[in-house]
Structure 1
Amino acid sequence: MSELLAGVTLKNQQDVELDGGEHLKGKVVGLYFSASWCPPCRAFTPKLQEFFEKIRKTHPEFEVIFVSRDRSAEELVAYFNDHQGDWTYIPFGSSKISKLMQKYEVKTIPTMRIIRANGDVVIQDARGEITNKGEDAEGLWKEWMAHF
């Protein structure tokens, strides 16, 4: 993913701009396609946040990138700041959002994919796996790492 997002601006909870390539070097990346107006997204986001917090305690190499389908920059930032974890997002209006939606064949939201550094999908339905197995965060993490 660091290769795929080199030169792409990401922002974090502190509103700091980061270079995607640099920020994601050596990280296991989850692309989280979601929006504030989507009820299933609002139901899944707290589960993802809880899973993320558990995993980051022992695996700081895990990073989530919020790929928003919100209708404005204000909606994106409000949803991100108020409801999401300590991860990053691609700013509203970036052409990379539609390219990622197409590349990863995202038809509905919420969708989450776990991606290798080169952009290949490792886990196609990370949302389903977190929903169904996320209580055992470490066990699920080990399952995922067996694919790397």
Structure 2
Amino acid sequence: MKKITTVILAGVLSVSAFAQKKYVTFEAKIDNKNGEKLYILGPNKYKKEFVLNKSGVFKDTLNITEGMYRLDDGVEGTSLFLKNGMDLKLKMDAKMFDESIVYTGKGAKENNFLAQTALAEEQYNYPELLKADETAFTQMATEKQQADLKRLADAKLDAAFTKLYTAEIQGSMMGLQQYYKEEQAMQKMNNAPSPTFNYENHKGGMMKLEDLRGKYVYIDVWATWCAPCRAEIPYLKMVEEKFHGKNIEFVSISVDTKKDYEKWKKFVTDKELGGIQLYADNDWNSDFIKAYGITGIPRFILVDPKGNIVNANADRPSSPALTTLFTEILK
């Protein structure tokens, strides 16, 4: 639904409570692991690969530049703050990825803050915010930013982390404002003929939007790395089940990049995703994605049986309003 720019800053030097070791000790215990490897990705194309043992454990040291990083297991990922002197331990269950993350040791406070923030972001009512008029949107967005800054200040975290995350909150506000403008422009597309696509089907072959003419088409634009997208999957499955056999098709279009093509195929299979699973031919630069002006995901689109746009920014599967709408139009 949203793609708020994440600001990655590195190289900030400060005096802190962390010891002056020239490395980070990082240890993890991963239950129900998604794969045999973990990756830490960061500024300046930093990439560190770890191999988990049979018990899902690894321990290593990192020579890093202080800053924001990302821990990825090939299916899901989470933000990290790393700084020399840390002795960080992670315990999690990959089947309940974000919900199960717990850090201990030096640096735990900052990284637990990041994990808890990710969960809070998934629960925030962005659809309500984006449907508001301009005055209400500005007020609500400002209140959210102030609440985020207060939560950060009240946590009394490392000074370098606080500086970095303050910049991220500010960057998120700018991204949210840009997304709101784009969302308003999207609404002007309603009732016009929908742009089309011709994409690879996970089950084989290619599929065009025209192949589904005569039915409503509910389109989910998503990617495997997108946490808010993944959060909608259980709801999407329930909506699909509820309206199975009705005059509607559920189509999911992945904008994963070419390097993540196999990751997409595996994710769809492992998570037993339903509906029609398609892979966009050129990720964010695909014609269909550009025609809709999509710069943030998940994005949901509803097209009528004649191929006209009902809503270029439809409700999420988790919204009761979507079920109400489908009940009305699919009698």
Q: Which amino acid aligns with 1:115?
A: V
Q: Greater relative contact order (Cα 8 A, min sep 6): structure 1 or 2?
A: 1
Is it true that 1:69 corresponds to 2:255 in the alignment?
Answer: yes
Q: Matched residues in 2 for 1:53 and 1:100: separation?
A: 27
Report SS of the residue matched to 1:90.
strand
Runs of 4+ aligned residues of structure 1 deviating over 4 Å after TM superposition are: 94-97
Which residue pairs with 1:88 in the alignment? 276
Report SS of the residue matched to 1:86.
coil
The percent of aligned pairs where both chains have the same amino acid is: 23
Contiguous gaps of at least 5 residues in structure 1 = none
Q: Which moved more, 1:111-120 or 1:65-74?
A: 111-120
Q: Which has the larger radius of gyration?
A: 2
Counterparts of residues 29-108 of structure 1 (less than 5 Å): 29-57=217-245, 59=246, 61-71=247-257, 72-83=260-271, 85-93=273-281, 98-108=286-296
TM-score with structure 1 length normalisation? 0.72
Q: Matched residues in 1 for 2:254 and 2:209: separation?
A: 19
TM-score with structure 2 length normalisation? 0.36
Q: Matched residues in 2 for 1:74 and 1:52: separation?
A: 25
1:10 touches 1:88 (CA, 8 Å); kept in 2? no
Which residue pairs with 1:11 in the alignment? 201
Change (3 A) 1:131 1:117: same
Query: What RMSD over aligned residues (CA atoms) do the two structures have, in Å?
Result: 3.1
Deviations 1:57-87 (A, max 9, x none): 4x0x211222112132112212222335432
Which residue pairs with 1:142 in the alignment? 327
Whichever structure has more strand as a proportion of its residues is 2
Which residue pairs with 2:36 in the alignment? none
Change (3 A) 1:4 1:70: closer
Change (3 A) 1:22 1:69: closer
Is it true that 1:27 corresponds to 2:215 in the alignment?
Answer: yes
Q: Which amino acid aligns with 1:142?
A: T
Report SS of the residue matched to 1:131.
coil
The number of aligned residues is 136
Contiguous gaps of at least 5 residues in structure 2 = 1-192
Residue 94 of structure 1 and its aligned partner are, at CA, apart by 5.1
1:76 touches 1:92 (CA, 8 Å); kept in 2? no
